[in-house]
Chain A
């Protein structure tokens, strides 16, 4: 099936509904390129982006659709795909530091969250939500793309990711949302992110600077003095927080590199089997139809033809009956061939699950070890900051 045909199908599937229940739905064209700013963006206008590890979502209920897929694979993809988006965004020049972070990590200026709605090598569908530190939601869109075997061959030759246009589309939408912000908006987002981190770390000292509305929006009530020593201390800790996340990203990147080859091969092999399966299913259906038509024709001659016709076509009718029966039988034989493909798809999935699972366990372990150790350290720093604040201000330490 050609790429164009696939895209048309996808669009026709999507357009009647307009929007899905998960937000605006976008079928991504194969030719989407990532956009870059015309000039250099000044440092004061850069926003840091944190991309959360994706939500692996759920597998499709249909057994045929989910054949060879597993939650182990989804968990691996939930760690792999955010790095792909990271790599895409990092090269645009629109952003400050772009980092992949564990889910529910506090402190980013722009937060990107993703849910995998579908991923089977042929089709990728992601729900992406972006919001900034003030709590303002930039968008919540669903992106879908389908690729052909030819696309995999082209991607292999060029060394590019086969679903790159989908990630380009997400990066472009993020850049477009950023473009709607004024310079003051960007400064405010940056300040709020810093103050949220400070408030989390030293609530005694910073709780009065931000206000949170019932709907989760943050506004700045006032700003700390430029030379406030508590600001200096919290900033020093924030630097370490970034270093910690960068170190974590090293683990995520290693995971991505280790996953890349087997993941690409699995997706391609699965699609190959899927295409063979479809071809055999088409062939089997055609053979059964031809066989049935031959038998029906022979019977029609038998019933409707006159004596002379019956006598003249006796041999032909026999050939049609036997041939039709054979065609139907070969159609059923083809059906059993499809079982081989189905088994192959399942085996491919099982094999890739077995390959990716230890990688996921390893990266999760490293992540937990690092964040667990850091949590202990942060707890110490929280206590220290509380003591310092109480000592410097003469106010009693609050008990959490």
Chain B
């Protein structure tokens, strides 16, 4: 068993811990103000308000954790920074420095889980925002035009870093390990609670003599598992077809 001991804080570590507390405190302050402003205006739905409150609470917990870490290495909290009080009084797990008891692998897994949770929360937030955008468009009744900015529809790819098959250089023979759309999209779907729906075609007939762009759109829509994205793809397909008639 590997025992981890807390080392005395060096100047570098002290600066790092203080820096982290400062960044987290600033994020918390800004998020709290933004949250209160939106609540004051009454422009958040119940779900959005609940999610935002969870987000603020999570930020608060981060600040508490930063304070605990500083206290553990006996660094005084600067006067311009505050530590929230209530979690300090809670008994139980705080009595044991769980972080210090974890192995590196466990700690990395915990951080990974935190990242995944953050990604899921972010997905939900963006989905809600997209719903709001869609609602705004319906309220204004569109205005015609030639289709809109910003779909990922057009046979488009989405993110993914190109990784090589090895680490020995950027030679031509390297296999491109692009982690592109399909796996990540399904990951999005999972983390954001979206369901895989039955594939569907648009209500109007699909022209089998589509040109290259229409075909790309149609095929992308037919293959897409995510219902939101699939709907957008079919919308783009219809708009494109209308534009070419």
Contacts and interface: CB of A to CB of B under 8 A. Distances in A.
A258 B163 contact: no
Nearest to B171: A223
B126 A240 contact: yes
A178 B136 CA distance: 36
A234 B115 CA distance: 11
B208 interface: no
Given A376-B30, A397-B16, A225 B164 contact: yes
A225 to B, nearest CB: 5
B229 to A, nearest CB: 10
Give the contact-size bracket for chain B.
35 or more
Interface stretch (A11-19, A93-101, A334-342): A93-101
B155 interface: yes
A232 B162 contact: no
Contacts of A224: 161, 163-164, 167
A129 interface: no
B104 A194 contact: no
B140 A257 contact: yes
Contact of B216 (A93, A225, A257, A394): A93
B165 interface: yes
Interface stretch (A120-128, A323-331, A347-355, A379-387): A379-387
A99 B150 contact: yes
A89 to B, nearest CB: 9
Contacts of B36: none
B197 interface: no
Interface of A is mostly: helix
A399 B213 contact: no
A40 interface: yes
A237 B116 CA distance: 10
Interface string A229-246: 001111111111111111
Interface stretch (B72-80, B90-98, B175-183, B199-207): B175-183
Interface string A357-383: 000000000000010011011011101
B55 to A, nearest CB: 9
B112 interface: yes
Nearest to B151: A246
Contacts of B133: 247, 250-251, 254
A346 interface: no
Contacts of B115: 233, 236, 381, 384-385, 388
Contact of B137 (A231, A233, A253): A253
Interface string A101-121: 000000000000000000000
A82 B150 CA distance: 11
Nearest to A369: B34
Interface residues of A, number: 91
Contacts of B181: 239
Contact of B161 (A90, A238, A244): A238
Given A36-B212, A258-B140, A377-B122, A249 B243 contact: no
Contacts of B20: 383
Interface string A282-320: 000000000000000000000000000000000000000
Contact of B126 (A97, A220, A227, A244): A244
B118 interface: yes
A83 B112 contact: no
B9 interface: no
B152 A246 contact: yes
B226 to A, nearest CB: 11
A226 B164 contact: yes
B40 interface: no
A245 B31 CA distance: 21
A238 B159 contact: yes
Nearest to B215: A40
A238 B179 CA distance: 10
A146 B223 CA distance: 44
A249 B166 CA distance: 37
B187 interface: yes
B41 to A, nearest CB: 12
Contacts of A87: 145-149
A396 B176 CA distance: 30
B162 A223 contact: yes
A99 B157 CA distance: 12
A379 B149 CA distance: 27
Given A225-B163, A247-B133, A397-B16, A240 B150 contact: no
5 contacts: A97-B157, A98-B156, A225-B164, A246-B130, A385-B115
Given A91-B243, A236-B184, A251-B133, 19 more contacts: A36-B213, A39-B212, A48-B157, A87-B145, A90-B151, A91-B147, A222-B170, A226-B175, A233-B115, A239-B160, A243-B188, A246-B150, A246-B151, A250-B137, A383-B20, A383-B23, A384-B111, A399-B12, A399-B16
Interface of A: 36-37, 39-40, 43-44, 46, 48, 82-83, 86-87, 90-93, 95-100, 159, 161, 184, 187-188, 190-191, 194-195, 197-198, 220-228, 231-254, 256-258, 260-261, 370, 373-374, 376-377, 379-381, 383-385, 387-388, 391-392, 394, 396-397, 399-400
Top 5 A-B pairs, shortest CB-CB distance:
A249-B150, A253-B148, A97-B156, A223-B164, A238-B159
